[in-house]
Structure 1
Amino acid sequence: MKNLKQLIKTASKYRKKYFIGIFFLLLIDFIQLIPPRLLGYLTDSMQKGTANRELLLRYIIYTLLIYLVMAFGRYIWRVYIFGTSRLIEYDMRNNLFKHLQSLSLSFYNSNKTGDLMALATNDLNAVRAALGPGIIMLTDSIVLSITTLIIMLSINVKLTLLSLIPLPFVALISTKFGRMIHRRFLKVQQAFSKLTDMVQENFSGIRIIKSFVQEAKEAEKFTRENMNNFNTNMHLIRIWGLFFPLIEFVASLSFVILLGVGGAYVIYNKISLGDFITFNMYLGSLVWPMMAVGWVINMLQRGLASFERIQDVLNQKPEIVDRYVDDVKSLNGDIHIQNLTFTYPGNETPSLKNINITLKKGQTLGIIGRTGSGKSTLVNLLVRLYNVKDNNIFINGHDINRIPLKVLRENIGLVPQDAFLFSTTIAENINLACEDFDMDRIIESAKASDIYDNIMDFSNKFETVVGERGVTLSGGQKQRVSISRAIIKNPDILVFDDCLSAVDAKTEVKILDNLRKIMRDRTSIIISHRISAVKDADLIVVLENGEIVEKGTHSELVTSGGLYQSIYEKQLLEEKIQEEV
């Protein structure tokens, strides 16, 4: 009931359109009750011998006009009811997408992409069907049942009561089967979600699958999931397939009763032949609403099941939100991290322990350490991809939790370790964070990241479409496009999270020289596993197992005898070996 009330509340936004649609639907329901009466009157006239050409022509014209009005009315209610259900689907899809955009990373860590795709397609279609055809069937089943029953009773009460004996069983069977259909439909949606997720994952990782010659194995896994989806659907179809023949059989018993009892009534002149024909047509009209009860229950059950799945996601609250904020317009200032300890949700071991760093406005911080030492975690906290406790991180004198998220993220240019590109042009990928499309700025930022010459070698230059996730570019090219995207944003703080790992040493030096000009007047953080990337930083911290084990400048650390010196000497040796080779 709670979900049903919420569904009604969702639809109430368009109640005026529904009112117009239902008004015409009711009008047509009443009008379509006239033709059986006309046919009955005409039959009686013919039987009595009072019918003539003029009467026949008049009845033909009446019938033609009635069906013309019905055709026009049905067009109107279809536009308003079906059209409104599409509008609601449109709104729900927008709301779902916007809400998914607002949810934190932890939500995506525990929910699969395929499942979310199924919500935005299959489940939304089921909700739309409940609010479109479902509304029509519900109205028809109520209005036609009542009005038809009244007319039938006016013809002959006893014949009506006898003919109606099987029909309550139609509604009973529909209700019973509706519950079973609801449970099985939920399983169908879950099976479809799993299948969608697997397909999406395979297409995204197709290069890995081919590289490791896993096509046959993945095809086998897909066959299993596809078979599970097939079996789950067949489980639903079996009950669905039994439902309609059973309903039709029970409903046909009404016609058997009418044929026997009604036929006798005509023979003994208790009702006229015209009344018998009229009664037969009305009984046919009454069977549909009774059968529609099953359709309505099934459609509403499906819609409610899908609406419930969608609501479960919409009820998820983003963990990262603005709670209480200061009036902050820029981040042009110092960065101060004090006593920061952070543990990822669901983990017991802290990823960062007692981190203390002070970075003055305009300075560059270098962070180095082995894989898994907590370097990227520190960056994730700086842009609040995860929540951090109060009084741990300060930017420009403001607690990070008191800085509006929009201001925080707009004024930090982050180049992540994973250089994700969208399947659009290079120019649009670079210009991602900018509202205006300024080709001069795009070119300037491309030159700064040393990707300009590569782009000019492409046949379509900046209009080259990079494919899904930038599949047509090399790893180094993707990283440099990602750097251009951060530079064109012109942020107060620049963060480079190991974003030069896929470029060679010579290109790295060239890019860093260009970046130093850009970083000169802004606070910057460079995370790298290469000493060459951080050696010119004003402050370098060395992380090991989430803790700062060394801190200082390059000249101080290189003679400290610690981890930094060990990494430095190892990398020098690697460079010499490469030069000799």
Structure 2
Amino acid sequence: MKELKHLNKYFKKYWFKLLMGILITIIARVFSLVMPSYVKKSIDVLEGIYAKTISFTEAKTNLFEYILIIIGAALLSGLFTFLMRQTIINVSRYIEYDLKNEVFDHYQLLSLNFYKKNRIGDLMNRISEDINQVRMYGGPAIMYGIQTLTLFACLIPLMFIKAPTLAAYTLLPLPVLSVLIYQISKIIHKRSTKVQEFLSTLSTFTQESFSGVAVIKAYSLEPKINSELRDLAQEGKDTSMALAKVNAWFFPLMILLIGISNIFVIYIGGRQYINGQIESIGIIAEFILYVNMLTWPVAIVGWLTSIIQRAEASQKRINEFLKEVPSIKNHVNQETPINGNIEFKNVTFTYEDTEITALHNVSFSIKAGETVAFLGKTGSGKSTILDLVARLYDVTSGEILIDGTPLQNLNLNNLRSSIGAVPQDAFLFSDTIENNIRFGNENATHDEIVEVAKKAVVHKNIQGFAKKYNTILGERGITLSGGQKQRVSIARALLKDPKIYLFDDCLSAVDTETEEEILNNLKRESQDKTTLIVSHRVSSAKNADKIIVLENGSIIQEGTHEQLNNVEGYYKELYINQLSGKE
């Protein structure tokens, strides 16, 4: 159970509620123990009537009293059982809430490399299914475990006090049961781990299938996907059945052993009564009730073992991610205001996952308020520069300075809150268009949102929808066209009003006429903002204060549109080709 030690901090946090729940559990079980002894007394009264050692009137009075005590104890036991669930089960929900927040907060701290290595379906399964398995340990397992321990602690001594020989025979099957549970639980642990791992695989497959449904339909891949899902389902069935077969041994074994205990009670108890070793036949009835009271706790031992083994397997998977150390850390706690001066000094960067060196010894400087465009072929390192400015990665060698301060010495929250980024693949949430734009500034008014939408030249498109700005977008903004998604993303960045704009080929899906209008609006909006534009189009770059051309991660040209257009090279060739294409 070493992996489950991670939950100890939550048990300490809710120690008072847990303690109250444990006390209430013990009280509830103690009240439940009242019934068997009073059933014995009731049988003794009936036996007394038969033997004529007690009068009918006295017997009637005693039986009425015993019945009231049994009913009262049952009601009190039921009340405390309800309170028990209200405390301990609630604590398990609090722990589930806290653990989900902890995992999700940690997910957000992890770098992009982590998300390149791990699939979304697996991440989702660990924060949902795995945590649900852990919750069962933090609530039901504790509750039923305390119930079982309380009954064992109270019943077993009580049985030995009342009839030692009969108690010894009655409890004889329990050690056998313990050994069987220990052996079976080891198998359960291994198979539970496999089941949880398979659920992650299934989640990943279905998530990717739903996300890529357009491609599946376009290429008529439905039969292939269905076949793969059938194979996965078969594997899942085999894995789950392997676990179910082991779990299936628990209850039959327990019922068998409890049945043997009942036989011992009736046979041994009957012989002892006949031989005069026990004074009353009521003790046999009392012991049968004791054995049946132990049936559920003994049976629950197997279920508890299964829960704990599943929780252990799930918590181990959760801990694997919680132990992941973020490669990008905030080293500065004090506020570090950003003005927008950017300088690259001999920057080299290699992607960890692919080991591709995207930038080689790159150096340039950008003054606050300047607009700089980056051009080059695909894979030349343009987008990498924007990622490094936002510190989504740390450089392999060299140094990046913002306002003369190394990037690592800036408050990470201040840095990123000063940046308005529009990625190449515009991402929108399954929410209204207005809320997607408001993501840039949660305090923005509707009028401010409309204003930036006009500047991004998407207002007319939004007005064309039946619900206008209240239109709910599909997942990843699938309701909108590629160009509309890009323009909504631009509006979101404009609403943030940052010190630094990062535009990563964000006009690739927009026609040239709309592009020109947006660029003119952006030029007015970014007059005092540092703006970095990545593009494949000269039209997006020609009005920039500086143009930097990259090839294979190195700078091959740098200057204004006029300067670069007057020398032979990549930029002039690209300009001529795109100009003739436009004509």
Which piece of structure 1 moves more, 191-200 or 280-289? 280-289
Q: Separation in 1 of the partners of 2:117 and 2:340?
A: 36
**CA offsets 1:265-287 (integer angstroms, 9 cap, x no match):** 12222221111111121122234
**Aligned 8 A contact 1:137 1:295 in 2:** no
What does 1:88-107 correspond to in 2, within 5 Å? 88-107=95-114
**Aligned 8 A contact 1:390 1:401 in 2:** no
Residue identity over aligned pairs, in percent, reads 39
**CA offsets 1:466-522 (integer angstroms, 9 cap, x no match):** 211111100000000000010110011111110000011111111111111011121
**CA offsets 1:93-149 (integer angstroms, 9 cap, x no match):** 111111111111111111111111111221111111111110122112222112111
**Aligned 8 A contact 2:332 2:412 in 1:** no
State the SS of the aligned residue for 1:393: strand
**Aligned 8 A contact 1:7 1:307 in 2:** no
**Aligned 8 A contact 2:349 2:397 in 1:** no
- 1:102–1:246 CA distance, 2 compared to 1 (3 A): same
State the SS of the aligned residue for 2:462: helix
Q: Separation in 2 of the partners of 1:341 and 1:457?
A: 47
Return the offset for 1:391.
Answer: 5.5
- Is 1:226 the counterpart of 2:236? The answer is no
What does 1:102-113 correspond to in 2, within 5 Å? 102-113=109-120
Return the offset for 1:389.
Answer: 5.2
Return the offset for 1:181.
Answer: 0.7
Which one of the candidate residues 142, 146, 153 is aligned to 1:146?
A: 153
State the SS of the aligned residue for 2:249: helix
Give the TM-score, by structure 2 length. Answer: 0.96
**Aligned 8 A contact 1:171 1:290 in 2:** no
Instruction: Give the aligned partner of residue 30 of structure 2.
Output: 30
State the SS of the aligned residue for 1:365: strand
Q: Separation in 2 of the partners of 1:347 and 1:109?
A: 10
Q: Separation in 2 of the partners of 1:309 and 1:163?
A: 42
State the SS of the aligned residue for 1:149: helix
- Is 1:575 the counterpart of 2:579? The answer is no
**Aligned 8 A contact 2:347 2:360 in 1:** yes
Return the offset for 1:10.
Answer: 2.5
Instruction: Give the aligned partner of residue 519 of structure 2.
Output: 512
Which one of the candidate residues 57, 60, 65 is aligned to 2:64?
A: 57
Q: Separation in 1 of the partners of 2:276 and 2:327?
A: 78
Return the offset for 1:465.
Answer: 1.1
Q: Separation in 1 of the partners of 2:64 and 2:137?
A: 43
State the SS of the aligned residue for 1:556: helix
Q: Separation in 2 of the partners of 1:199 and 1:363?
A: 46
Which one of the candidate residues 149, 167, 176 is aligned to 1:160?
A: 167
Return the offset for 1:413.
Answer: 0.9
Return the offset for 1:324.
Answer: 4.3
**CA offsets 1:2-34 (integer angstroms, 9 cap, x no match):** 323322332221110011111111011111111
State the SS of the aligned residue for 2:329: coil
- Is 1:559 the counterpart of 2:566? The answer is yes
For structure 2, the residue ranges without an aligned partner over 5 or more in a row are none
**CA offsets 1:190-245 (integer angstroms, 9 cap, x no match):** 11111111111111111111122111211111111121111111110111112221
Instruction: Give the aligned partner of residue 215 of structure 1.
Output: 222
Q: Separation in 2 of the partners of 1:346 and 1:110?
A: 8
Q: Separation in 1 of the partners of 2:257 and 2:61?
A: 42
- 1:428–1:180 CA distance, 2 compared to 1 (3 A): same
Letter in 2 for 1:358: S
- Is 1:289 the counterpart of 2:297? The answer is yes
- 1:326–1:76 CA distance, 2 compared to 1 (3 A): closer
Query: For this pair of structures, how many residues does the alignment match?
Result: 575
Let me know the Cα RMSD of the aligned residues.
1.5
**CA offsets 1:166-203 (integer angstroms, 9 cap, x no match):** 11111111111111111101100111111111111111
Return the offset for 1:288.
Answer: 3.3
Q: Separation in 2 of the partners of 1:65 and 1:325?
A: 61
Return the offset for 1:325.
Answer: 6.5
- Is 1:181 the counterpart of 2:188? The answer is yes
State the SS of the aligned residue for 1:254: helix
Q: Separation in 1 of the partners of 2:547 and 2:406?
A: 23
- 1:337–1:558 CA distance, 2 compared to 1 (3 A): same
- Is 1:501 the counterpart of 2:482? The answer is no
Q: Separation in 2 of the partners of 1:181 and 1:389?
A: 46
What does 1:480-491 correspond to in 2, within 5 Å? 480-491=487-498
Give the TM-score, by structure 1 length. Answer: 0.96
**CA offsets 1:374-432 (integer angstroms, 9 cap, x no match):** 11111110101111257611111111111111111111111110100001111111110
Letter in 2 for 1:14: Y
Instruction: Give the aligned partner of residue 456 of structure 1.
Output: 463
What does 1:374-393 correspond to in 2, within 5 Å? 374-388=381-395, 392-393=399-400
Q: Separation in 2 of the partners of 1:186 and 1:422?
A: 33
- Is 1:298 the counterpart of 2:312? The answer is no
**Aligned 8 A contact 1:538 1:553 in 2:** yes
- Is 1:278 the counterpart of 2:302? The answer is no
